Amino acid sequence: MTTGVGVIGATGLQGGELLRLLRDHPEFALRHVSRSADGPAVPIGDVHPHLGDGPWDGLPLGPADVRAAARDCAVVFLATPPEVSAALAPALLAEGVAVVVDLSPAFRLSRPAAHRRWYPRVPRAEPVPAVYGLPELHRAALPGARLIAVPGCLATAAILALLPLHGLLARLGLRLASITVDGKAGSTGAGASGGSAHALRAGTVAPYAPSGHRHAAEITEALTGQGLTTTDGGLRLGMSVFGVDLVRGVSVAVHASVDRPRASRRGIAVAEHYAEFYRAERFVRVREWRRGPVPLPDPKATTGSNHCDVAAFHDLEADRLVLVAALDNLVKGGAGQALQACNARFGLPEDLGLTAAPLYPA
Amino acid sequence: MTTGVGVIGATGLQGGELLRLLRDHPEFALRHVSRSADGPAVPIGDVHPHLGDGPWDGLPLGPADVRAAARDCAVVFLATPPEVSAALAPALLAEGVAVVVDLSPAFRLSRPAAHRRWYPRVPRAEPVPAVYGLPELHRAALPGARLIAVPGCLATAAILALLPLHGLLARLGLRLASITVDGKAGSTGAGASGGSAHALRAGTVAPYAPSGHRHAAEITEALTGQGLTTTDGGLRLGMSVFGVDLVRGVSVAVHASVDRPRASRRGIAVAEHYAEFYRAERFVRVREWRRGPVPLPDPKATTGSNHCDVAAFHDLEADRLVLVAALDNLVKGGAGQALQACNARFGLPEDLGLTAAPLYPA
Amino acid sequence: MTTGVGVIGATGLQGGELLRLLRDHPEFALRHVSRSADGPAVPIGDVHPHLGDGPWDGLPLGPADVRAAARDCAVVFLATPPEVSAALAPALLAEGVAVVVDLSPAFRLSRPAAHRRWYPRVPRAEPVPAVYGLPELHRAALPGARLIAVPGCLATAAILALLPLHGLLARLGLRLASITVDGKAGSTGAGASGGSAHALRAGTVAPYAPSGHRHAAEITEALTGQGLTTTDGGLRLGMSVFGVDLVRGVSVAVHASVDRPRASRRGIAVAEHYAEFYRAERFVRVREWRRGPVPLPDPKATTGSNHCDVAAFHDLEADRLVLVAALDNLVKGGAGQALQACNARFGLPEDLGLTAAPLYPA
Amino acid sequence: MTTGVGVIGATGLQGGELLRLLRDHPEFALRHVSRSADGPAVPIGDVHPHLGDGPWDGLPLGPADVRAAARDCAVVFLATPPEVSAALAPALLAEGVAVVVDLSPAFRLSRPAAHRRWYPRVPRAEPVPAVYGLPELHRAALPGARLIAVPGCLATAAILALLPLHGLLARLGLRLASITVDGKAGSTGAGASGGSAHALRAGTVAPYAPSGHRHAAEITEALTGQGLTTTDGGLRLGMSVFGVDLVRGVSVAVHASVDRPRASRRGIAVAEHYAEFYRAERFVRVREWRRGPVPLPDPKATTGSNHCDVAAFHDLEADRLVLVAALDNLVKGGAGQALQACNARFGLPEDLGLTAAPLYPA
């Protein structure tokens, strides 16, 4: 008794990754694939040179067809631009699709004002309240969800780096002054057609968002209510993102500036706190850093897997905590997380279809 | 009437870059080259596949020979490990060499306690006080210097990003809470033999120094006395460095967290302040950031040149200034800066032999 | 009733890939892991940063122990240097191990004279005749084999490109004048510690074997008896190999110069012949070339999978056939092929544990 | 008394490289820059992030203006698409420009039939006979030339690899059976906007021209009359080109299959013949191959310079000569060669403005 699923936007990089993961999923059966834009129907293999035979054989890859998708699928994944997702999600739900899993940012920010500010060109109706699909944070809200907003890749890394911080600060007796997220991102984040030509992108450290990255709003909203506040009473968080010469993968360094009150307890191991916090999580690996050829966390050690690797360091010199998180933006930062959240939605083991080890070195 | 110069440690990457630059220098004539370690004498072309004929023809590349170097050269560049430099510099000066320009960190930290702490394995005599060879900062001290300590590549970028900050804060009416330097570094920083194999280093974002990078001490010392202090009275500066898939080049993002006192003046353009500050500097280019395929500063736009590109951004959301600096670690972050400082030492135009435009894209 | 298997040489890149693949194999149970050299016992995760929990938990990773391996395993994979394999294989077989699967070249060349010529430093006893473990060629000989010599990565690609050629030439009425194999190889081929530093290897097209590559002998021997001969009566085959900026993957272009006898039939589609020839092969994909961003075959479209992609082109201008083959050198060119051959050895479906789709783009 | 020169098509990669090289040229004074297409006038620095101040300051970068170019310039470089060059060259010459140096393929093939076949979309008038601007081959024809067709990058490498072959075969007593050129090309060959996105191009070995590359016709025409023929009486030459993960640079391997007549003299060193042949050439370096981290020739050792590195190997096993040539496609394979030819045109030293050593490693 498998569940029929569809992928709209199957020609992009996240769409291709969804196909790769769904190919081997034991409970979800692919019944619909389509493009986000108009265009001639083409075989999957023409678009995704790695994909040979698969459950997509015989499925026409033509323009999005809401009615057909709704007829054949209980779940539809949207790997579409946000303005397309904003239109398709309500339509699919209205047609009776049980669950829409949207990989775009169309429904990530729950507060309408925040959404309007950061996505002014993405007007959205709110067909149903969306659940922010980070299972490590919103696991309880996923069963029964009808609309799941899959988090951004940098946001996923930053949030998973930050979740244990509140408890750690309490144990250390430290107060948080400010947070700066310094992200490094691979070129797949820009999509198959949106990125720079190789000649211009290879060998860069390109400050494409020195400030004002949209994921900062996602991170802030996700952390609101988790107890973490800066000394100004809110959650003062800056974010800068750099494009580096990397295909898959993002890394974030969260620099948390702390104030030392009277009786700070320096002796508590930050690494140990993080390890305890994530002990039960299947996909978050707390890494021990080692000097040598392979200091961790590094996105290179997560390629192709749904892992997010995390480490925490206490910089006593500078009264600073450094939290580093790395993941594959097409898996834990995209298609993999979408599948994990969808597994949770249906009460399945979260790692169903997601057990592959990373490919290393690649 | 050219000046005889020598290069000890000519087999390494910085050594090779010195040869490339000295090849076309109109005032400095290469009269000595040698290795830092023992080993058979070999032709330059066997070690540096790019270098064909040049002023090194006929110069034997054998083990370091202090006496020969002193006989033939007024200036000796040391592209040697710090423990070798610590031994060679006094010996060369004692033999009568007029100027030693050391590219290692052996003499960068002037305070003995700081040196002992960060370089415990580099005992050093202090033959003469070293001048920290960042011309943009210590131009006045260079003429007549006998020992020049060439700054580290990340330190050069961070200091040039930070030098205008004190004045900017004053104009904006802001107080500095903390500084975090997030550095991204290419593989040439590890030397020709010291780095990871390509298979392990390609595609990484490797946190090789999440905290405690030695250049933090350099930066702090260089800025001491420049007016810049954090609200705790000292200069609270943390540093994290990542290895990325890049051959030449480093980029630093300096995240400066600021406190807003009563009457902050937000209207002043940070970019304009930086442009004014560096107007007269030949090698510091203040870049305007542009959304698009080539956001700047990016080390890719400095490759092979002695430029340090800098930009400043005001993140009003997070009460943060973001300063980004990028350079080629083998030129402005090494051999080029050594030559610039040496030019200044002899009262020559600082850009003599250093006028090449960057190679782009490369 | 699973079969116990061991991996000796588990710290290298091929060893790590064997662990990754064996982790999910339903019939082979990992019971032994060890290093090829001496050294302290370490956890797998210290050596392979991508591998977390797995069937290796609790298995000590110490020096190779023939007796322990023989006690616990019916199959031992050797991911060791050829001189180590040459010593271990007879010892393991003597201790009663049923099958030794050697990834080194120690037993690839069956003719003793050829072996001595190409591997003069690898003296070998021949405990039992080795089967050259290319299932597409020697499938029939694998069941019951006690010693399997896993082909080299470039050899695998070249042989699979060449196997259909004899039949094609017959259909086209062409005679073969000469074969030139031009190979392009990634850095994982050199191992985790054997390769060049990133700074020297990035961006190269390095002619590391302009002629005389050892795999040429492998290819020639494998094709002997397959009907393919050049007009000189033997099999005139030259090979040149270049290192390129690639982590995983090799590509070979086989340039087959042909002579046109009286009645050549030009109309027969070479692509069609190749497609027919490999129709029943699970892992060989005959690709259609397409102008555009993704011309195939390209190792990039095989990463992480056991596929070898092949295409054939008829260059009518130059009386030449061009055969291109691409694969992942750690999978179909190494650990994956070893597993495929071992599956065949035990009468299991060849793709058991090898069904993963390629990771793309990566 | 400098000569006024202009660059049309200054926004592309070859155009930018011309600007970089002309910036420091002592005899040619830049007086005109323009785009090949319409579009708003922009500062050079907006298009070429590496270029700061230069002789272009004050020159408006607007649409091509034949009349203005002719008024101000004796020489105009065309870094434009072939159909644009085909139209502009006659117009510029008619307006009185003394020399047009065209970097496109519009005038490379002198035989009209060959041109029509390979460039059917580039109808051309032939204002004056073009000189194929490879100084090493057509040095004598350059003085006085009015139209110079700058060779393609792969063609330059292949021709320079092949020029000494005729003499070598004569010395060795060998007959040439066939030539196969296997080229590996960097992404700058596709231009700033024409290439694939980084995510799709990184890590590829993409057979973008398995046969039928246009440069094959260029090579054949250039070699015609040089004595080199294959045993079929013509010049049987096949060519296959692969895109690799490289920004600048191309490498070609020329596999020359030879027939052994009765008395072949094997003892003659091919490397020596090549060294003698190119002894007097400033820009062709005959390299000795060395096993080790840096086998040569490699485009990496030519980056940013006007060198073409060449090596020749005799594969006695396979009766094959292997000629390898590597160069920077934007310098010796483009803008640098254009300048070298233009120097020769005016009787200037060919290396004027072209003396920079390669940048290595980069």
Could you read off the pLDDT of D76-120 as tens digits, one per residue?
A: 999 999 999 999 999 999 999 999 999 999 999 999 999 999 999
Handedness of CA B346, B352, B353, B359 (dihedral sign): positive
Supply the pLDDT for residue B288.
84
Angle, helices A153-162 vs A215-223, to 10°: value is 30
Residue type, C47: V
Q: Give the containing element (helix H, strand E) for A302.
A: none
| Residues A52, C307: C-beta atoms closer than 8 Å | yes
- Contact yes or no for C158/C254 (Cβ under 8 A): yes
B13: nearest CA partner in chain C: C199
Residue type, A151: P
Supply the pLDDT for residue C296.
95
Higher pLDDT, B184 or D173: B184
Residue type, C344: A
Chain A: give the shortest CA distance to residue C51, in Å.
Answer: 7
Residue type, A272: E
If pLDDT is split at 50, 70 and 90, which confidence band does C261 have? low
Could you read off the pLDDT of C156-189 as tens digits, one per residue?
A: 999 999 999 999 999 999 999 999 999 999 999 9
Q: Residue A296: what are its φ and ψ, rounded to 5°?
A: -125, 160
- Nearest of A189, C50, A241 to residue B204 by alpha carbon: C50
Task: List, as one string, the DSSP characters of C44-62.
Answer: HHHH-TT--SSTTTT--BE
- Contact yes or no for A213/A241 (Cβ under 8 A): yes
d(CA D82, CA D106): 5
Average pLDDT, chain D: 93
Chain A, window 166-205: residues with a beta carbon less than 8 angstroms from a chain B beta carbon: 177-178, 180, 182, 184, 196-197, 199-205
d(CA B223, CA C310): 60
Higher pLDDT, D310 or A53: D310
Instruction: Find the CB nearest D197 among A197, A203, A245.
Output: A197
Q: How many CB atoms lie within 10 A of CB D213?
A: 22
Contact list, B50 vs chain D (CB under 8 Å): 301-303, 305, 357-360
- Quote the distance between the C-alpha of residue D354 and its chain's center: 15
| Tokens (6 digits) for A346 | 């249906």
A291: nearest CA partner in chain C: C46
| Residues C195, B192: C-beta atoms closer than 8 Å | no
Contact list, B287 vs chain D (CB under 8 Å): 49
Helix (H/G/I), strand (E/B), else coil: B255: strand
Q: Residue A22: what are its φ and ψ, rounded to 5°?
A: -70, -25
Q: Give the containing element (helix H, strand E) for B177.
A: strand B175-185
Chain D, window 8-47: residues with a beta carbon less than 8 angstroms from a chain C beta carbon: none
Residue in the structure block whose two tokens are 């231009």? D191
- Contact yes or no for D74/D95 (Cβ under 8 A): no
Supply the pLDDT for residue C266.
60
- Nearest of C216, C232, C251, C238 to residue C323 by alpha carbon: C251
Averages of pLDDT over runs of 10 residues in chain A (362 residues) are 94 97 97 88 90 89 93 98 97 98 97 95 91 98 97 98 96 94 96 83 95 93 92 92 97 94 64 95 91 84 98 91 98 98 98 97 96
| Residues B49, D362: C-beta atoms closer than 8 Å | no
Residues of C annotated as catalytic (active site), given as ranges: 153
d(CA D77, CA D88): 11
d(CA A251, CA A257): 19
Supply the pLDDT for residue D36.
84
pLDDT surpassing 90 at residue D127:
no
- Contact yes or no for C92/C70 (Cβ under 8 A): yes
- Nearest of D54, D104, D21 to residue D305 by alpha carbon: D21
Nearest-5° angle of CA B88, CA B94, CA B96?
105
Low-confidence ranges of chain B (pLDDT < 50): none
Q: How many CB atoms lie within 10 A of CB C116?
A: 13
Contact list, C290 vs chain A (CB under 8 Å): 46
Supply the pLDDT for residue D161.
98
| Residues A313, B197: C-beta atoms closer than 8 Å | no
Three-state secondary structure along D238-273? EEEEEEECCCCCEEEEEEEEEECCCCCCCCCCHHHH
| Tokens (6 digits) for B270 | 């940070």
Contact list, C311 vs chain D (CB under 8 Å): 207, 210
Residue B331: is it exposed, middle or buried by C-beta count within 10 angstroms (0-12/13-18/19+)?
buried
- Contact yes or no for B93/B100 (Cβ under 8 A): yes
- Quote the distance between the C-alpha of residue D306 and its chain's center: 10
d(CA C153, CA C233): 27
| Residues C190, B202: C-beta atoms closer than 8 Å | no
Among A280-289, B226-235, C39-48, D332-341, which range has the highest average pLDDT?
D332-341
d(CA A18, CA A9): 10
Three-state secondary structure along C276-304? HHCCCCCCEEECCCCCCCCCCCCHHHCCC
Among B262-266, C70-74, D209-213, which range has the highest average pLDDT?
C70-74
| Residues C178, D324: C-beta atoms closer than 8 Å | no
| Residues A207, B320: C-beta atoms closer than 8 Å | no
Supply the pLDDT for residue A268.
65
Average pLDDT for D321-329: 98
Chain C: give the shortest CA distance to residue B29, in Å.
Answer: 28
d(CA C156, CA C340): 13
Residues of A annotated as catalytic (active site), given as ranges: 153
Please name every residue paired with B182 in a beta bridge, in sequence order, or none if there are none: B240, B253
Supply the pLDDT for residue C82.
97
Chain C, window 304-333: residues with a beta carbon less than 8 angstroms from a chain A beta carbon: 304-305, 307
pLDDT surpassing 90 at residue D38:
no
Contact list, C13 vs chain A (CB under 8 Å): 361
| Residues B50, D305: C-beta atoms closer than 8 Å | yes
Helix (H/G/I), strand (E/B), else coil: A295: coil
DSSP code for B347: T
| Tokens (6 digits) for C19 | 């662990």
In this structure, the strands spanning B62-63 and B28-35 are: parallel
Supply the pLDDT for residue B230.
93
Task: List, as one string, the DSSP characters of A235-254.
Answer: --EEEEEEEES-SS-EEEEE
Residue tagged active-site, from B73, B153, B308, B342: B153
| Tokens (6 digits) for D310 | 């060449």
d(CA C230, CA C298): 28
Supply the pLDDT for residue D195.
77
Supply the pLDDT for residue A265.
61
Instruction: Find the CB nearest A23 among C51, C301, C357.
Output: C357
A181: nearest CA partner in chain B: B255
| Residues A24, C355: C-beta atoms closer than 8 Å | yes
Given a contact as 3+ CB pairs under 8 Å, which chains touch B? A, C, D
DSSP code for C356: P
d(CA A73, CA A93): 11
Residue A358 at interface with chain C, using a CB cutoff of 8 Å: yes
Q: Give the containing element (helix H, strand E) for D71.
A: helix D66-72
| Residues A198, D203: C-beta atoms closer than 8 Å | no
Average pLDDT for C219-239: 92
Nearest-5° angle of CA A325, CA A329, CA A334?
115
pLDDT surpassing 90 at residue D190:
no
Instruction: Find the CB nearest A187 among D192, D195, D198.
Output: D198
Residue D196: is it exposed, middle or buried by C-beta count within 10 angstroms (0-12/13-18/19+)?
buried
Identify the weakest region by mean pLDDT among B188-197, C240-249, C255-264, D53-62.
Answer: C255-264
Average pLDDT for D39-63: 89
- Nearest of C20, B195, C43 to residue A301 by alpha carbon: C20
- Nearest of A244, A115, A118 to residue A190 by alpha carbon: A244
If pLDDT is split at 50, 70 and 90, which confidence band does D225 have? confident
d(CA D147, CA D128): 7
Instruction: Find the CB nearest C187 among B191, B193, B198.
Output: B198
Residue type, C283: F
Higher pLDDT, D44 or B291: D44
Could you read off the pLDDT of C103-128 as tens digits, one per residue?
A: 999 999 999 999 999 999 999 988 89
